[in-house]
Amino acid sequence: MRALRLMAWQSPAVLTDVDVPTPGPGEVVVQVGGAGACHSDLHLMHDFGPGQLPWEPPFTLGHENAGWVHRVGAHVSGLEPGQPVAVVGAWGCGRCARCRAGLETACERPDLAPVAGGGGGLGLDGGMADYLLVPAARYLVPLPEGLDPLHAAPLTDAALTPYHAVRRSWLKLTPGSTAVVIGVGGLGHLGVQVLCATTAARVIAVDTRESARDAAKRSGAEHVLAPGPDLTAQVRELTGGVGADVVLDFVGSDETLAAAAAVVRQLGDLTIVGLGGGSLPVSFFGLPYETSVQSTYWGNRSELVEVLDLAARGLVHADVHPYSLDEAPAAYEALAAGAVDGRAVVVPREHYAP
């Protein structure tokens, strides 16, 4: 079969031929119906070098995956060939206290995991191929009726990550509250939808691109703003002078973090989601009193079940742009150029059915 593989750090991924995987005991082979192209893959290709991550190339890209069960190994129950499934992206050890609580993103024994601190597409072979080997059945979530693998695939990260971030701040997103979303791209446009579907907060979306602001408006944002010297004053005016209860920064640059700090209110949450490489000075008088600054990483299996339920009910929807496997390199070029509004999804097969 063909696969899009990262062969070395600081190089583009290449299409090559690999063997079709065979499932061992407890393993499942998934026929891939969609694999999302993510900005973090660009970081893998261009920004990391030897020794910076706990794993090394080569491996097949694609950590946002959904498809159909193809073959199951011995001792696997509850899954049948042809069954549509989404793949949980973070693969922990399954044994430590965090993993047993369902928090495999925070695995405390990465030395016992399939790959330390990663998963399919992150150190192990991912979904940008015809078939994906999943090392344990617990990493698969059956798709609810009405949701196909093409549209489910990007939800496993691009919706799950903002859902996890929003969920952490639910207690502050009450009626009368305000949430500011900075960066309304592949994750941010889903973050707006998650806020609107699960909270009563007023949503203000901020982006440099008019097309992204239009998408945020369609996704439910009450106000859309462009960044600039007037942003802080505009947010203060829209919030009666107090600022935002929750700010979600889906960019994470120096500029966006500074803007986030300027618009958050006392007792508010400032959550860093984006991997823009920026930093935020934190000191007693540097932020409004009792502001909480937090990072967030992906989400867990139970949260993915909830995300897929929202999607099946039409409350969350990824704006999907399909690419064939042959077009996968072009998908990453478009992503790097900022030419993708929504999510690029690589589809190894011509037909969206097993």
* Beta-bridge partner residues of 141: 86
CA–CA separation, 162 and 160 (whole Å): 6
Nearest to 166 by CA among 216, 213, 141, 201: 201
Binned at pLDDT 50, 70 and 90, residue 353 comes out as very low
CA–CA separation, 136 and 116 (whole Å): 15
* Beta-bridge partner residues of 336: none
Q: How many residues does the chain have?
A: 354
Please write the tens of the pLDDT for every residue from 274-305.
988 999 999 999 999 999 999 999 999 999 99
Judge whether residue 252 has pLDDT over 80. yes
Query: What letter does residue 313 receive in the DSSP assignment?
Result: T
Residue 272 CA neighbour count, 13 Å, CB half:
19
- Model pTM score: 0.94
Mean pLDDT calculated for residue range 211-227: 95
Q: What percentage of the chain has pLDDT greater than the value 90?
A: 93
Concatenate the DSSP letters of all residues of 119-169 into one string: EETBEE--SSBSEEEES-GGGEEEPPTT--HHHHGGGGTTTHHHHHHHHTT
Q: Measured between alpha carbons, how far is residue 349 from residues 2, 120, 322, 323 in Å?
A: 11, 19, 11, 10
Q: Measured between alpha carbons, how far is residue 135 from residues 21, 162, 229, 245 in Å?
A: 11, 26, 50, 41
CA–CA separation, 209 and 185 (whole Å): 9
Domain ranges across the chain: 2-156+299-347, 160-295
CA–CA separation, 138 and 141 (whole Å): 8
Mean pLDDT calculated for residue range 147-157: 96
Binned at pLDDT 50, 70 and 90, residue 35 comes out as very high
CATH of span 2-156+299-347:
3.90.180.10
Mean pLDDT calculated for residue range 40-54: 92
Q: Which CATH class is domain 160-295?
A: alpha beta
